[in-house]
Chain A
Amino acid sequence: MKERSIDEFESIFERASIPVLDIEEVAINRISAVLKGEPLDDSVLVLAAYLKKRFEAQVDLHYPAICDGEPVLKAARKRGLDPQTQPFVSTAELVGQVSIGRAQLVLMAEPVEEEARFIDIDAMVQGTAPPVLIIRQPIDKPIDIFARILHSLTGNFQQTQNFSYSFTLVKDRGTLELLHTVDESDVEDVKKALRMSLEVDAYEAKELLESLARHAERYLKGVVAASHKRPFNVSYALAMGEVVPTVQAALAGGKYTLLVVGSHEEGHSRVSTSDYRLMHTVREIPVLAL
């Protein structure tokens, strides 16, 4: 009985010992600003100028080859930029131009046209290796975008979460909140990941979801532990339900300044279906698609 109790308590304390994640910040050294003649293009330049100064990064301007490059360059100089310019003839070429590698961030304004909005954003997010920051509102004080970040996480078992960009971008004394939503579709992902062929009943599915939530919570605590001694606050919340309404509800009550979705690992963008829906539904704040 004594041995059993010792084992029980040791395992309780082992469980309490959260593995601290090793989260390195990204030294962003290249900003790719995409200007396609949208009303919010100037905000892209404002943000690019801020990020250039903050990270001492090189800024590249990408604009459609059919446009005259001189006004674009003039507008950039007005914002204190002296960028390299790269005209492109197609979205495919643009994707190729901006997919240089890591330590890079792509900035683009949301197209006004409904159709272009979906096609352009999806093509960029799917095609480019670096994360894409989509601007949806005019920007006056770019630093404010990084004051209160909501990083949405889904329960996708196969996704490798990446917190490096959020940790890098959040401003000093800013807040990074991690919202992990576990929804029913995650059960299918788990089944696929574990190669489970059997059907699970409602009770088993509930158990599976709860276990996913526990797993996620432990993981999130490791992220919070990694933020110890950093100049910003990190907190987390767990939610059960559908991703889009859950995140929308959080955004409605949270005064967030940036939404981060998807994951980004070794130069590959992985944005799940729910992240795509989220990316197109949330319109009031900028979205960083990893």
Chain B
Amino acid sequence: MTFAALNILASVQEYAGQVAAYQTWFFAVILAVTLIALATEKIHKTILVLLSALFCLFLADFWGLFPRQEGHHLPVYIQMIEWEVIGIVIGATVFVEIAARSGVFTWISVKMLKASGGDPFKLLIFLSVLTAVFSAFLDNIMAMIIIGSLTVVACRRLELDPKPFLITEGIMTNVGGLLTLISSIPNIIVGKAADISYLKFLIVSGPYTVVALAVTMFIARRLFGKTVRPLAGEEARTHNRALVMAFDEWETVNDRRFFYTSIVAIILVILGFAFKAQIPILRDFGIEVVAMMAAVFMMLLHAKDVEHDLDDVEWSLVFFFVGLFVIIGVMERGGVLLKIGTSLERLTGSTGAVGLMWFTALFSSVTDNIPLAAMLAKIFGPTPEAAAALPPTQWWAVVFGANLGGNITPIGSASTVVACTILKKHGMKVPFMQFVKIGGVFALAQLILASGYLLILQAILSGGAG
């Protein structure tokens, strides 16, 4: 397979002729240093990316990579920023924060805990599947924080070791993060670049997600054996059932009216995302507008605390994106993306989408998957025409690789970081290699499964659009 888009990328490199080889290499070094520094997490990632972006801008201007008429005013790099992605992040964050405050998700979590009857295996299945579902409709971090917090409280009550539960939940979050277009940032970036609708994303990723959830549960049962074994004996079952029945889901809800209106709002917003193309008013707007509308709708429901709600927007993430898109924009003009694309083609060309997925997964396991997804999106889809010309499975390879790669190491994804943070908070450290031994098994199985799924998709979708 060849990356058809690379030709198009080369053809649209209007500045390519102006870039000297040493300049491209210099930019490549800056990018590599930035990515390594991001992986080490010694400096806050937003500060790091913004500093790197400023340096790239000065350098690009110094070498005359910007057209003279643009100068070095804001509009030069404002074009590089994917405002749609930022719109989705801001809208979704506000929506999720306010929805979480209504108590809907904590209420459902406690209900699931009670439904498990305190049986360790049922508890593992129920909470892990719920984490996956929440991460599909919320963001991964929020899903992990909610379920992770309940897990430690419930395990304390039931005198269970929370480690197997939290690790499985962290891993399930990344599987659930595959389900919808807005489940994870790489999905948003790729979905936007490849012009994949919410519904189409759900239809393609849904079957894989369901099978991967079942496989993950099976592995968890085998891997954690004793701790998650179903309870034997009526006495033990009665005892544990009584312990979990003492949880009251309504204690997590402060305002029942807000709770009920939030349920309606969440359903409406999900339907809005899913059927945007079919709804006359929404049809003409981008998905970022739907996300912002959802945020405004929730603010209206929770009007008494708008200031507090807006404080919860992840402004550091927004500025991280601003810096990241500027870096990628400069790298595009500096010819670095073309070089990466060519190298990538050499590296994975013979293995096709499957090879690309494994490369993306391995890269995502040691560094932030967002810059990788943003870079690959720019390499494969610099223009809508180029994006449309690309085999659809290539986009899916990036999606699967970026999401599942996070399961290999404890630093590979935000949700596994949260899981380890919760465990550490309660005096249970998970050493890096211990996590790799566990997470690696899950990730290996999920990636093998995804490889097969990509081949099936390739057969089905060949010739069609993603």
Known: A9-B106, A16-B110. A229 touches B242 (CB 8 A): yes
Mind listing 6 A-B residue pairs with CB under 8 Å? Answer: A9-B146, A12-B252, A17-B157, A218-B251, A225-B245, A228-B242
Other 13 A-B pairs with CB < 8 A, given A2-B145, A6-B421, A225-B248: A2-B141, A2-B421, A6-B149, A9-B145, A12-B251, A13-B110, A13-B154, A15-B251, A15-B252, A18-B248, A18-B251, A221-B248, A225-B245
Q: Give chain B's interface secondary structure class.
A: helix
Query: Is there contact, CB below 8 Å, between B425 and A6?
Result: yes
Q: Does chain B have a CB within 8 A of A20?
A: yes
User: How far, in Å, is A251 (CB) from chain B's closest CB?
Assistant: 27
Q: Is B152 an interface residue (CB 8 A)?
A: yes
Asked whether any CB of chain A lies closer than 8 Å to the CB of B337, the reply is no
Please determine whether A19 and B246 come into contact, CB atoms closer than 8 angstroms.
Answer: yes
State whether the Cβ of B422 lies closer than 8 Å to any Cβ in chain A: yes
Contact A3 B242 (CB under 8 A): no
Residue contact B242 to A20, C-beta cutoff 8 Å: yes
| A19 nearest in chain B by CB position | B246
Q: How far is the CA of A221 from the CA of B249 in the complex (A)?
A: 11
For residue A113, CB closer than 8 A to chain B, the reply is no
Q: Which residue of A lies closest to B316 (CB)?
A: A1
A139-174 toward B: CB 8 Å interface, digit per residue (1/0)? 000000000000000000000000000000000000
Q: Which residues of A contact B106 (CB under 8 A)?
A: 9, 12-13, 16
List residues of B whose CB falls within 8 A of some A CB: 106, 109-110, 141-142, 145-146, 148-150, 152-154, 157, 238, 242, 245-249, 251-252, 418, 421-422, 425
Q: How far is the CA of A225 from the CA of B251 in the complex (A)?
A: 14
A1-30 vs B: 1/0 string, CB under 8 Å?
011011001101111111110000000000
Let me know if A9 and B251 touch, CB within 8 A: no
Chain A residues with CB under 8 A of B148 = 6
Question: Which among A6, A17, A225 is the interface contact of B422 at CB below 8 angstroms?
Answer: A6
The digit string for A189-219, where 1 denotes a CB below 8 A from any CB of B, is 0000000000000000000000000000010
A16 with B252: CB separation less than 8 A: yes
Q: A2-B141, A9-B146 are in contact. Are A17 and B421 (CB under 8 A)?
A: no
CB distance from B361 to the nearest CB of A (A): 24
The reply to whether B249 and A16 contact each other, CB–CB distance below 8 Å, is yes
Given A15-B251, A218-B251, A229-B238, A2 and B418 contact (CB-CB distance below 8 Å): yes
In angstroms, how far is the closest chain B Cβ from the Cβ of A8? Answer: 8
> Given A3-B425, A20-B242, A229-B242 in contact, is the A13-B141 Cβ separation under 8 Å?
no
Q: 10 nearest interchain CB pairs?
A: A9-B149, A16-B251, A13-B153, A10-B149, A20-B246, A225-B246, A13-B150, A5-B145, A16-B252, A18-B246
A281 to B157 alpha-carbon distance, docked (Å): 45
Picked from A6, A14, A15, A17, the residue with its CB within 8 Å of the CB of B246 is A17
| Most chain B C-beta atoms within 10 Å of own C-beta, residue among A17, A18, A218, A225 | A17
Q: A17–B247 contact, CB under 8 A?
A: yes
Bound together, the chains give a CA A221 to CA B110 distance in angstroms of 15
In the complex, A16→B114 CA distance in Å? 12
Please, what's the 1-or-0 string for A46-59, where 1 marks a CB less than 8 Å from any CB in chain B? 00000000000000
For the side of the interface on A, what is the size category?
20 to 34
Q: Specify which chain A residues have a CB less than 8 angstroms from the CB of B418 in the assembled complex.
A: 2, 6
* Distance between Cα atoms of A5 and B150 in the complex (Å): 12
A16 adjacent to B149 (CB under 8 Å): no
Cα distance A221–B251 in the bound complex, in angstroms = 10
CA distance A18 to B110 in the complex (A): 12
In Å, the complex CA distance between A222 and B242 comes to 12
Quote the shortest CB–CB distance from A219 to chain B (angstroms).
12
What's the least CB distance linking B100 to chain A, in Å?
9
Q: Smallest Cβ distance from A13 to chain B, in angstroms?
A: 4
Nearest CB of chain B from residue A186's CB, rounded to whole Å: 22
- Cβ of B145: which chain A residues have Cβ within 8 Å of it? 2, 5-6, 9
Distance of A12 Cα from B422 Cα, bound (Å): 15
**CA–CA, A2 to B154, complex, Å?**
20
Instruction: Please report the C-alpha to C-alpha distance between residue A218 and residue B425 in the assembled complex, in whole angstroms.
Output: 28
- The distance in angstroms between the C-alpha atoms of A14 and B109, with both chains bound, is 13
Chain A residue numbers with a CB within 8 Å of B242 are 20, 228-229
Note all chain A residues with C-beta closer than 8 A to B252: 12-13, 15-16
Nearest CB in chain A to that of B103: its residue: A12
Closest chain-A Cβ to B144's Cβ sits at a distance in Å of: 9
Chain A nearest CB from B58 CB (Å) reads 31
- A14: B residues at CB distance < 8 A: 153
Name the distance in Å between B379's Cβ and chain A's nearest Cβ: 31
Q: How far is the CB of B316 from the nearest CB of chain A, in Å?
A: 9
- A161 vs chain B, min Cβ distance (A): 18
**Chain A nearest Cβ from B315, distance in angstroms:** 10
Q: Are A13 and B249 in contact (CB under 8 A)?
A: no
* Cβ–Cβ contact B149 & A12, under 8 A: yes
- In angstroms, Cα B109 to Cα A142, docked, is 45
Q: Which residues of B contact A19 (CB under 8 A)?
A: 246
Interfacial chain A residues near B152, Cβ < 8 Å: 10
Distance A218 CA – B422 CA, assembled complex (angstroms)? 27
Q: Which residues of B contact A228 (CB under 8 A)?
A: 242, 245
* CA of A174 to CA of B249, assembled, Å: 26
Residue of A nearest to B418 (CB): A2
With a cutoff of 8 Å between Cβ atoms, the chain A residues found around residue B109 in the complex are: 13
Residues in chain B near residue A225, CB distance under 8 A = 245-246, 248
Roughly how many angstroms separate A13 CA and B242 CA in the complex, as a whole number?
A: 17
Residues 98-137 of chain A: 1 if any B CB is under 8 Å from the residue's CB, otherwise 0? 0000000000000000000000000000000000000000
Residues of chain B lying within 8 A (CB to CB) of residue A9 = 106, 145-146, 149-150
CB distance from B368 to the nearest CB of A (A): 15
Nearest B residue to A224, CB-CB: B248
* Chain B nearest Cβ from A201, distance in angstroms: 23
| Residue among B106, B148, B246, B252 having the largest count of chain A Cβ atoms under 10 Å | B246
Complex CA gap A231/B164 in Å reads 37
Complex CA gap A163/B5 in Å reads 75
In this complex, what residue of B is CB-closest to A14? B153
| A218, B248: Cα distance in complex, Å | 9
User: Chain B: which residue is nearest A228 at the CB level?
Assistant: B245
In whole angstroms, what is the CA distance A15 to B110 when docked? 12
